[in-house]
Structure 1
Amino acid sequence: MQENTGTTTTGPAEPEIELIEKDGEVTLSIGGEQAMQAWERDLMWASADLLCRHGQDFYEVGLGLGLSALRIARNPATRRHTVLELFDEVEELFRAAQPEPPATLTIERGDFFRRVHDLPSESIDGMFFDPALDMEVWTDKELWARTMPEVVRALRPGGVFIPFFSTKPELRWQYVDHFSRIHVERHRYQAYDTTEYTYGTTGNAYIQCFFKD
């Protein structure tokens, strides 16, 4: 999960990826940046539980530490959960920690901004979106204008799109114009003192759930 920085699908093909466990902290580092940390668990679980209220077939972008992927796949409501991950090394780290993942979980490799165009129409009940992206990608208005209609197309009527939590109380412009109904939950969070990608290391986090009509 990243709010400020990240790695990009248009950046180096093979960024350095490592799992750093130090002083009780767990960090997934991609290209020298904090891509995700273990303190996010409760927020990832809350997002996953919210997603699973809205169907049985789900799709996730970005594997990270696998916190949300496992939570979704293990939910009794889940029939199928597919995770799209860009980097081999991230999946390798996950499988080393989880040698027997749930049967409902499938991990695929690919770039979301290309793969989204191949998703079948009205094929999923919900999408959880948590990739590590460079700021250049986050601010590319044309890219998001092309991408989000494809996300909506892939969702079934009544389906939901849930991006990773924000620690700023504002709706993300990348998504808001493509949905007419939005549900927001506020949760308290406590990050590590070393966390670099949140707006402060403690406070309120906001989970945004966008509904397809």
Structure 2
Amino acid sequence: MRTPNISEPNTSPQEKPAIELIEQDGQVTLSIGGEQAMQAWERDLMWASADLLCEYGKDFYEVGLGLGLSALRIAGNPATRSHTVLELFEEVEDLFRARHPHLPDNLTVERGDFFERIFELPSESFDGIFFDPALDMEVWTDAELWARVMPEVVRVLRPGGVFIPFFSTKPELRGQYLPHFRRIRVERHPFVAYDTTEYTHGGTTGDAFIQCFLKD
């Protein structure tokens, strides 16, 4: 699920959830609001998503820093000229910078709320967007919100650009994005999660699906 309880897209300082990095028994978990937001076993899936994104250009944007697995992979791709990551929570960025004090020159981490920032980004400014924020389930299921936001995502993408949300362990297309793209590329990858992982569908092993939505 990867849906920590942050309540709303715009989270005030008083409502900020507890954020911590838990390293125990060889497992690494980013916890937001007491729930598993991301775990290090996802590395290969995040790298596959990043590599797929980088096939489509040289300037990229990412929503949600997490453990920084995809951010570093995208910035490290020889094709990447610039990569900007938008992160809502200061604590998440601080944890990332503590583990990675020396970042690539082409990687920029910005603070902000995606549901505000997307309306401010210039049209046709990025070749690809990787989307992996920690959002409450009420946000994910808010049809009116996505109907407002997704046309802006398409606007920001250059022709031929792509929008890649985080992988799914359900073999179904993401309904929030589906109406806004005519072409979708899907890749299937096996995964093995931790035995403590709570957010995968159908168990801790199986197939994950990376969905790549292409702008005509």
What is the TM-score of this pair, normalised by structure 1? Answer: 0.97
> Shift of the alpha carbon at 1:139?
0.5
- What residue is the counterpart of 1:112 in the other structure? 114
Residues 4 and 91 of structure 1, relative CA distance in 2, 3 Å threshold? closer
CA distance in 2 between partners of 1:62 and 1:13 (Å): 18
- What residue is the counterpart of 2:55 in the other structure? 53
> Shift of the alpha carbon at 1:10?
4.1
1:210 matches 2:208: no
- What residue is the counterpart of 1:124 in the other structure? 126
1:74-98 superposed Cα distances (whole Å, 9 cap, x missing partner): 1000000000000000000000011
1:9-88 equivalences in 2 (<5 Å): 9-11=9-11, 13-88=15-90
CA distance in 1 between partners of 2:5 and 2:89 (Å): 11
Aligned residues: 211
1:150-161 equivalences in 2 (<5 Å): 150-161=152-163
1:5 matches 2:8: no
Structure 2: give runs of 5+ residues left out of the alignment.
Answer: none
Q: Is the 8 A contact 2:64 2:85 kept in 1?
A: yes
1:133 matches 2:135: yes
1:133-182 superposed Cα distances (whole Å, 9 cap, x missing partner): 00010000000000000000000000000000000000000000000000
Structure 1: give runs of 5+ residues left out of the alignment.
Answer: none
Q: Is the 8 A contact 2:87 2:113 kept in 1?
A: yes
1:76-128 superposed Cα distances (whole Å, 9 cap, x missing partner): 00000000000000000000011001001000000001100001000000000
Q: Is the 8 A contact 1:187 1:205 kept in 2?
A: yes
Query: Residue type matched to 2:150 in 1?
Result: M
- C-alpha RMSD of the superposition: 0.9
Query: Residue type matched to 1:84 in 2?
Result: L
CA distance in 1 between partners of 2:15 and 2:129 (Å): 25
CA distance in 2 between partners of 1:27 and 1:85 (Å): 17
Query: Residue type matched to 1:186 in 2?
Result: R
Query: Residue type matched to 1:6 in 2?
Result: P
- What residue is the counterpart of 1:196 in the other structure? 198
Three-state SS of the structure 1 residue aligned to 2:55 is helix
